[in-house]
Amino acid sequence: MNLDSLAQIEKNLQKRQRRYLSNLKRRSKPAQKLIVQSKITASSLRQKSSQILASAGLTGALLLTPASATQSSTPTNVSANNQNLNQALSQELADIFPHYPTKLDDQTAQNISQIILNKTGIKATPTLEGQSLNHHIGYIGYEQHLKRFPGDNLSLHDEEQVAGIAPGLGAWGYFAPSQDQFTTQDYLREKYYSVAQTLYLPDWNTNFRFLRDWYKYRKILIVNPVNGQSVVTVLADAGPAEWTGKQFGASPEAMKALDLHLGPRKGLVLFFFVDDPDDRIPLGPVNQKLDTNSL
């Protein structure tokens, strides 16, 4: 392919990007609000699009296929890929997954980590850099939205407004110091946040400063073993209390990704650290096997 062809491809992609943003802003008030408030300009979106779209499993479909083909075939293909991945993961885990809250033994943990790596491409582990939670498997509950910056309110959140918004802040405060400094990264961190009982760690009080900083926005993979649905999150709050009978919590959007957002809004899940030192794995639902070398 010559340079002229590459230049034409880039020009076409830029044109489609502008048209897509224009349609999105015109048709969806929440999307327009997000684009304006998050300072997502065309240039910044171009830089971030790979990560954002990868979390939705649509990168190749939206950027590399003709518009007509995208509209007609992408949802079906993505849905089929999701179903195959989820089914394979749930089937692999069924024989070795203990269906009760527990801290896994080394061999079982290693087997589960290998299954996850094989099926999703994500390196997930119950122990990372010498740190481990009190539970690797436990019950998770549906949490409210968190305030992302001073003045944030429920109407500014674009999904799952039925969850309400917490009156207080997360364990690490606001995600951004102001609305003007609120970024796409902050948006994704709140949208896909998780909660763990860090306050019950044996050395939490004696080693508080180190642990507080180490666990802040630590990436967590949550897997629902019943249906194989999984989501990459970040720790943004501490809890739940022991008396609730739950060991973990997650944002409304994360719980929806696990299909645990209806009914009792509770379920038994796997809760593993994501070993991602270069921060290449996007937050959000895991819709396809990731090739971390290409991210």
* Tens-binned pLDDT, residue by residue, of the chain (295 aa): 554 555 566 666 666 666 665 565 555 555 555 554 444 444 344 444 444 444 444 333 333 444 434 444 445 555 677 788 999 999 999 999 999 999 999 999 999 999 999 999 999 999 999 999 999 999 999 999 999 999 999 999 999 999 999 999 999 999 999 999 999 999 999 999 999 999 999 999 999 999 999 999 999 999 999 999 999 999 999 999 999 999 999 999 999 999 999 999 999 999 999 999 999 999 999 999 988 666 6
- Distance, in Å, from the CA atom of 210 to the CA atom of 285, rounded to the nearest integer, reads 30
Q: Which of 234, 216, 211, 237 shows the shortest CA–CA distance to 281?
A: 234
pLDDT of residue 220: 98
Question: Total domain count for the chain?
Answer: 2
CA 29 distance to own-chain centroid:
23
Q: Any residues with CB less than 8 A from the CB of 208 and at least 6 apart, and which?
A: none
Residues 266 and 177 in one domain: yes
Range of the domain at 227: 85-285
pLDDT for residue 3 = 47
Same domain, 243 and 172: yes
Q: Helices (DSSP H) in 95-193: which residue ranges? A: 106-120, 184-191
Dihedral of CA 150/155/157/160: which sign?
positive
Residue ending a domain, choose from 51, 73, 95? 73
Residue 170 sits at φ, ψ, to 5 deg, of -70, 175
**Domain edge (last residue) among 45, 73, 101:** 73
Whether the CA torsion 156, 160, 165, 171 is positive or negative: it is negative
117 and 176 part of one domain: yes
Q: Confirm if 143 and 177 have CB atoms less than 8 A apart.
A: no
Q: Taking the alpha carbons of 215, 219, 225, 226 in that order, is the dihedral positive or negative? A: positive
Assess whether 175 and 66 both reside in one domain: no
Tokens 């364990």 found at: 171
| Contact assessment for residue 135 and residue 247, using Cβ atoms and an 8 Å cutoff | yes
- The neighbour count for residue 53, using CB atoms within 10 Å, is 16
Q: Measured between alpha carbons, how far is 281 from 163 in angstroms, rounded to an integer?
A: 27
Final residue before a domain boundary, out of 53, 73, 93: 73
Domain-located, residue 112: yes
3-class DSSP state of 57: coil
Do the domain assignments include residue 186?
Answer: yes
Say what the pLDDT of residue 291 is.
Answer: 84
Task: Dump strand ranges (E) for 98-167.
Answer: 124-125, 127-128, 131-132, 137-142
C-alpha 273/C-alpha 276 separation (Å) is 9
Helix (H, G, I), strand (E, B) or coil at 167: coil
- 295 in a structural domain: no
Considering the domain architecture, whether residues 131 and 223 belong to the same structural domain is answered as: yes
The answer on 33 and 150 residing in a single domain is: no
- 196 in helix, strand or coil? strand
